[in-house]
């Protein structure tokens, strides 16, 4: 079932989500919710969806980065972002650790801020300890784009949105990004919008 995605300003997006209990994770309700979140993410389309985005105050997110999302990207663009296919999975009650202090800057959007995007610095590498959709313990070590997705979705579980981390002067519509900025390097965009040397 496709669920409605709440937009910024909904209180649930600024609340800390509650952890799921072990008996909840294995329940039919949560299994069905994960399936509905997967369908909603595909329909949007997006690479991740957190439960608060569909109005549920739970520490649960689904992630999948499909090859069709980048079919028109060049090899250089994929390499620059360290973006590869990520199979569908759920993360439940995640704990994240930043593995380095290097910040990588790329544009991010969010299904709860429809039509907008901004340049956001994120840690290059992360470690996430969580439970999977079967309630099994899982450790994820990720870098590049996958690390960015994990940070973005886990932020949602703590009441944060990418606008809390963005360079404010880079906030723009997706249409204007495609029209004016997509072909420029991050360095050029920063020089023009942030007045960096």
Residues tagged active-site: 153
CA distance 166 to 193: 13
Which of 68, 52, 69 has the alpha carbon at shortest distance from 60?
Answer: 52
CA of 45: how far to CAs of 41, 52, 189, in Å? 5, 17, 26
Contact 157, 17 (CB under 8 A): yes
Contact 153, 50 (CB under 8 A): yes
Name the helix (H) or strand (E) containing 123: strand 116-123
CA of 68: how far to CAs of 3, 38, 61, 164, 179, in Å? 22, 16, 21, 29, 22
CA distance 142 to 125: 6
């Amino acid at each position: 079932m496709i669920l409605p995605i709440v937009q910024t300003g909904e209180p649930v997006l600024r609340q800390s989500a509650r952890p799921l209990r072990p008996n909840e994770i294995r329940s039919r309700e949560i299994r069905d919710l994960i399936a509905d979140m997967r369908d909603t993410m595909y329909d949007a389309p997006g690479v991740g969806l957190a439960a608060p985005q569909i109005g549920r105050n739970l520490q649960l997110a689904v992630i999948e980065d499909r090859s069709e999302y980048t079919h028109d990207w060049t090899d250089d663009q994929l390499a620059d972002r360290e973006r590869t296919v990520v199979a569908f999975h759920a993360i439940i009650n995640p704990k994240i650790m930043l593995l380095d202090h290097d910040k990588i800057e790329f544009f991010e959007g969010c299904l709860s801020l429809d039509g907008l995007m901004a340049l956001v610095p994120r840690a290059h590498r992360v470690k996430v300890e969580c439970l999977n959709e079967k309630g099994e313990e899982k450790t994820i070590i990720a870098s590049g784009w996958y690390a960015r997705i994990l940070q973005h979705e886990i932020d949602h579980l703590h009441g944060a949105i990418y606008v809390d981390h963005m360079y404010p002067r880079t906030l723009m519509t997706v249409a204007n990004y495609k029209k004016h900025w997509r072909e420029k390097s991050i360095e050029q965009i920063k020089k023009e919008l942030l007045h960096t040397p």
